[in-house]
């Protein structure tokens, strides 16, 4: 069965399919092939994204724990929610930590009873979204509350830069890394929500993923560069979607 024989418009909704139909200029068969190629392209990105996303959160987690002098099993989450925390996270980030703890309690502790099982640091780290970790490399909320939420001055420069030991600007500037992380997050979230990625430049995104990996561990960057399948899938666009001759 060819892709255009599937009732894609009914299966994925007219609103979602319209973008593909428009890109194919109304050619139904081409729109169907474009949708399937977009699925293949998304799948090709995923192994690299999974490796780098977990590496990012673990690298940041290690530095938070090291700065506070706690084990990764105990975690830093109780400190940031304390009445007098040693690390000040903005209310938005604190709320995400609270929700992670609440989600853990729903899974592990009967409601209305004293907590019998405490979450480990690993439980919280695994539950927090990529957006949380990216936000810690962000600006925070400068010029409020005596600058306690200025993440560059309070997190990045004192210790968080160590999470990315091969990032060239180091503690002097988080801006370029911040931009790379946000580009990575955009791509990751589009794929996770089954949205279109065919409008994004695959070469740029692959280079960005490899560069982020290299900021943490050059061997990881080399591995991704040698194994990623995005370039191969992207090269099939003309032959598969446009049905161009390979000659």
Domains contained in the chain, number: 1
pLDDT of res. 44: 98
**137, 181 contact by CB (below 8 A):** yes
Does residue 31 lie within any of the structural domains?
no
pLDDT exceeds 80 at position 1: no
Q: Which of 7-21, 63-77, 143-157 has the lowest mean pLDDT?
A: 143-157
CA distance linking residue 179 with residue 129, whole number of Å: 18
Does residue 177 lie within any of the structural domains?
yes
Name the band, by pLDDT with cuts 50, 70 and 90, for residue 223.
Answer: very high
Does residue 235 lie within any of the structural domains?
no
CA distance linking residue 8 with residue 4, whole number of Å: 8
Structure tokens at 189: 């979230």
Tens digit of pLDDT for each residue in 103-125? 999 999 988 888 889 999 999 99
pLDDT of res. 156: 97
Q: How many CA atoms lie within 13 A of 207 on its CB side?
A: 5
pLDDT of res. 2: 81
pLDDT of res. 101: 96
- Which residue carries 């979230």 as its tokens? 189
Q: Which residues pair with 140 in a beta bridge?
A: 150
Output DSSP code: residue 172: G
Does residue 29 lie within any of the structural domains?
no
Does residue 169 lie within any of the structural domains?
yes
Q: Round the average pLDDT of the chain to a whole number and report it.
A: 95
Query: Helix, strand, or coil here: 152?
Result: helix
pLDDT of res. 246: 67
Give percent of the chain with pLDDT exceeding 90.
89
pLDDT exceeds 70 at position 215: yes
What own/partner pairs with CB < 8 Å and gap ≥ 24 does 222-231 have? 223/51, 224/48, 224/51, 224/52, 227/47, 228/44, 228/47, 228/48, 229/44, 229/47, 230/41, 230/44, 230/45, 230/48, 230/202, 230/205, 230/206, 231/202, 231/203, 231/206
Does residue 38 lie within any of the structural domains?
no
**184, 212 contact by CB (below 8 A):** yes
CA distance linking residue 155 with residue 164, whole number of Å: 13
Mean pLDDT of 56-67: 98
**220, 51 contact by CB (below 8 A):** yes
Does residue 220 lie within any of the structural domains?
yes
Query: Helix, strand, or coil here: 11?
Result: helix
pLDDT of res. 200: 97
Structural domain harbouring 123: 46-228
pLDDT exceeds 70 at position 43: yes
Q: Which residues pair with 150 in a beta bridge?
A: 140
pLDDT of res. 3: 78
pLDDT of res. 224: 98
List the one residue out of 112, 47, 49, 104 whose CA is nearest residue 75.
Answer: 104
**81, 98 contact by CB (below 8 A):** yes
pLDDT of res. 247: 60
- Which residue carries 């409008």 as its tokens? 199
Does residue 242 lie within any of the structural domains?
no
């Amino acid at each position: 069965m060819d892709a255009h024989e599937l009732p894609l418009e009914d299966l994925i909704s007219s609103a979602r399919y319209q973008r593909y139909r428009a890109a194919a200029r109304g050619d139904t068969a081409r729109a169907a092939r474009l949708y399937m190629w977009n699925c293949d392209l998304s799948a090709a990105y995923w192994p690299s994204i999974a490796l780098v996303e977990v590496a990012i959160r673990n690298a940041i987690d290690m530095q938070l724990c090291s700065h506070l002098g706690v084990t990764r099993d105990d975690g830093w989450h109780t400190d940031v929610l304390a009445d007098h925390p040693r690390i000040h996270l903005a209310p938005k980030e604190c709320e995400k930590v609270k929700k992670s703890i609440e989600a853990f309690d729903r899974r592990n502790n009967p409601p209305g009873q004293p907590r019998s099982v405490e979450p480990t640091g690993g439980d919280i780290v695994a539950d927090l979204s990529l957006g949380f970790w990216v936000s810690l490399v962000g600006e925070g909320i400068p010029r409020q509350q005596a600058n306690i939420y200025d993440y560059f001055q309070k997190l990045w420069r004192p210790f968080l830069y160590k999470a990315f030991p091969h990032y060239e600007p180091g503690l002097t500037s988080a801006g370029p890394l911040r931009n790379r992380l946000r580009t990575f997050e955009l791509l990751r979230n589009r794929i996770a929500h089954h949205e279109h990625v065919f409008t994004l430049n695959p070469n740029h995104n692959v280079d960005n993923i490899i560069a982020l990996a290299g900021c943490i561990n050059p061997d990881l960057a080399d591995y991704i560069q040698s194994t990623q399948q995005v370039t191969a899938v992207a090269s099939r666009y003309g032959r598969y979607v446009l049905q161009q001759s390979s000659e």
